[in-house]
Amino acid sequence: MGQAKDGASEEVWLKRQALQVVMQLPDDMDEALAVLRYAETLVKTFLADAPKTESRPENVVQLIR
Protein backbone atom coordinates (compact mmCIF):
# COMPACT_ATOMS: atom_id res chain seq x y z
CA MET A 1 0.00 0.00 0.00
CA GLY A 2 1.65 3.21 -1.12
CA GLN A 3 5.25 3.57 -0.10
CA ALA A 4 4.70 3.12 3.63
CA LYS A 5 6.80 0.62 5.52
CA ASP A 6 5.70 0.97 9.15
CA GLY A 7 2.40 1.70 10.91
CA ALA A 8 3.05 5.40 11.59
CA SER A 9 4.18 6.25 8.08
CA GLU A 10 1.34 4.16 6.63
CA GLU A 11 -1.16 6.25 8.59
CA VAL A 12 0.44 9.47 7.31
CA TRP A 13 0.39 8.10 3.75
CA LEU A 14 -3.31 7.20 4.02
CA LYS A 15 -4.21 10.58 5.51
CA ARG A 16 -2.36 12.32 2.67
CA GLN A 17 -4.29 10.26 0.12
CA ALA A 18 -7.59 11.04 1.87
CA LEU A 19 -6.79 14.75 1.85
CA GLN A 20 -6.13 14.65 -1.89
CA VAL A 21 -9.51 12.99 -2.45
CA VAL A 22 -11.37 15.39 -0.14
CA MET A 23 -9.89 18.43 -1.89
CA GLN A 24 -11.63 17.28 -5.10
CA LEU A 25 -15.09 16.96 -3.53
CA PRO A 26 -17.96 19.42 -4.07
CA ASP A 27 -18.40 22.15 -1.44
CA ASP A 28 -21.90 20.97 -0.56
CA MET A 29 -21.65 18.35 2.20
CA ASP A 30 -24.54 16.21 0.92
CA GLU A 31 -23.08 16.14 -2.59
CA ALA A 32 -19.62 15.33 -1.22
CA LEU A 33 -20.98 12.42 0.80
CA ALA A 34 -22.87 11.13 -2.25
CA VAL A 35 -19.64 11.23 -4.27
CA LEU A 36 -17.86 9.27 -1.53
CA ARG A 37 -20.62 6.64 -1.54
CA TYR A 38 -20.23 6.25 -5.30
CA ALA A 39 -16.46 6.08 -4.87
CA GLU A 40 -16.83 3.32 -2.27
CA THR A 41 -18.99 1.34 -4.70
CA LEU A 42 -16.41 1.78 -7.46
CA VAL A 43 -13.57 0.68 -5.19
CA LYS A 44 -15.47 -2.40 -4.04
CA THR A 45 -16.48 -3.26 -7.61
CA PHE A 46 -13.28 -2.67 -9.54
CA LEU A 47 -10.55 -3.21 -6.95
CA ALA A 48 -12.13 -6.36 -5.56
CA ASP A 49 -11.07 -8.21 -8.71
CA ALA A 50 -7.57 -6.70 -8.81
CA PRO A 51 -4.64 -9.00 -8.07
CA LYS A 52 -3.43 -8.79 -4.47
CA THR A 53 0.26 -9.09 -5.30
CA GLU A 54 2.60 -6.17 -4.73
CA SER A 55 4.76 -6.70 -7.77
CA ARG A 56 6.86 -3.97 -9.27
CA PRO A 57 5.11 -2.33 -12.22
CA GLU A 58 6.64 -2.90 -15.63
CA ASN A 59 8.60 -0.10 -17.23
CA VAL A 60 6.38 2.19 -19.25
CA VAL A 61 9.26 3.92 -20.98
CA GLN A 62 12.38 2.16 -22.18
CA LEU A 63 15.67 3.71 -23.20
CA ILE A 64 16.55 2.65 -26.73
CA ARG A 65 20.09 3.17 -27.95
Per-residue pLDDT of 12-49, as tens digits, reads 999 999 999 999 999 999 999 999 999 999 989 988 77
- Length of the chain in residues, anyone? 65
Q: Is 34 part of a structural domain of the chain?
A: yes
Domain residue limits at 16? 7-47
* Rounded Cα distance, 14 and 9, in Å: 9
**Residue type (1 letter), 63:** L
Q: Is 43 inside any structural domain?
A: yes
User: What's residue 57's pLDDT?
Assistant: 63
Spatial CA neighbour of 35 closest among 46, 44, 45, 24:
24
Once rounded to an integer, what is the mean pLDDT over residues 2-15? 77
pLDDT at 47: 81
Number of domains in the chain: 1
State residue 63's pLDDT score. Answer: 65
Q: How far apart are CA 25 and CA 22, in angstroms?
A: 5
- 30 within domain boundaries: yes
pTM (two decimals): 0.59
CA-to-CA distance for 61 and 63, rounded, in angstroms?
7
